[in-house]
């Protein structure tokens, strides 16, 4: 056994964390409209849209599919964002299970804010999997400030996604 965490394990934790937040936001719809400003978003739901768009766009990029335009992502439907998250996670799990994937291959791609970048597929999948964890911590702070503390713990140590 190695002490290293696999990207598959981290994807499980990220997915579990996202599902917990989706359920919490569905129970507390007012929190979705809480002003945010992170990454230029107007509210928490806008930040969720950003997180899901990253998952979808990078999963598409890694799969060699056309990358969806950011503007096409729904701005006002948590349910639609849940479905897109599920699509991205399914695609990422399929790619990670494919032994033919060359994770050291470099891809060149255009980003929305950082211009054109080059990165290995390994680095890209890591970004796709871990990106939302950072933003969910920001949402947790916004939720607590709004008086709606999460009813679950997002720590990896307390996660059931790995042992």
Q: What is the mean pLDDT of residues 15-26?
A: 97
Residue 19 sits at φ, ψ, to 5 deg, of -65, -40
Q: Per DSSP, what are the bridge partners of residue 117?
A: 109
Q: Is the pLDDT of residue 134 over 80?
A: yes
SS3 state of residue 35: strand
What is the pLDDT at residue 162? 79
Total domains in the chain come to 1
146 falls within a domain? yes
162 falls within a domain? no
Question: Using CA atoms, how far apart are residues 132 and 53, in angstroms rounded to an integer?
Answer: 10
163 falls within a domain? no
Q: Is the pLDDT of residue 47 over 90?
A: yes
Mean pLDDT across the chain, nearest whole number? 94
Q: Is the pLDDT of residue 54 over 80?
A: yes
1 falls within a domain? no
Confidence of residue 161 (pLDDT cuts 50, 70, 90): confident
Q: Break the chain down into helix, strand, coil percent, rounded to 5.
A: 60, 5, 30
Confidence of residue 132 (pLDDT cuts 50, 70, 90): very high
**Residue span of the structural domain in which 102 resides:** 7-151
Cβ burial, residue 48 (10 Å; 0-12/13-18/19+):
buried
32 falls within a domain? yes
What is the pLDDT at residue 39? 86
57 falls within a domain? yes
What is the pLDDT at residue 30? 96
**Domain holding 143: CATH number?**
1.20.120.450
SS3 state of residue 120: strand
30 falls within a domain? yes
Q: What is the mean pLDDT of residues 98-115?
A: 94
The CA R_g of the chain, rounded to the nearest whole Å, is 16
Q: What is the mean pLDDT of residues 69-83?
A: 94
Q: What is the mean pLDDT of residues 143-162?
A: 89
Q: Is the pLDDT of residue 113 over 90?
A: no
Q: Is the pLDDT of residue 26 over 80?
A: yes
DSSP state of 97: H
What is the pLDDT at residue 9? 93
159 falls within a domain? no
């Amino acid at each position: 056994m190695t002490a290293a965490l696999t990207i598959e394990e981290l994807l499980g934790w990220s997915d579990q964390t996202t599902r917990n937040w989706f359920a919490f936001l569905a129970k507390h719809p007012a929190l979705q409209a809480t002003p945010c400003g992170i990454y230029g978003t107007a509210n928490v739901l806008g930040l969720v849209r950003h997180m899901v768009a990253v998952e979808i766009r990078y999963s598409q990029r890694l799969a060699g599919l056309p990358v969806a335009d950011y503007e096409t992502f729904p701005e006002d439907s948590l349910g639609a964002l849940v479905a897109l998250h599920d699509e991205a996670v399914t695609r990422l799990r399929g790619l990670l299970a494919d032994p033919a994937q060359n994770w050291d291959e470099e891809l060149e791609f255009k980003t929305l804010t950082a211009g054109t970048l080059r990165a290995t597929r390994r680095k890209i999948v890591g970004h796709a999997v871990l990106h939302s964890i950072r933003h969910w911590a920001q949402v947790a702070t916004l939720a607590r400030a709004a008086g709606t503390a999460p009813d679950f713990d997002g720590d990896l140590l307390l996660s059931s996604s790995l042992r």
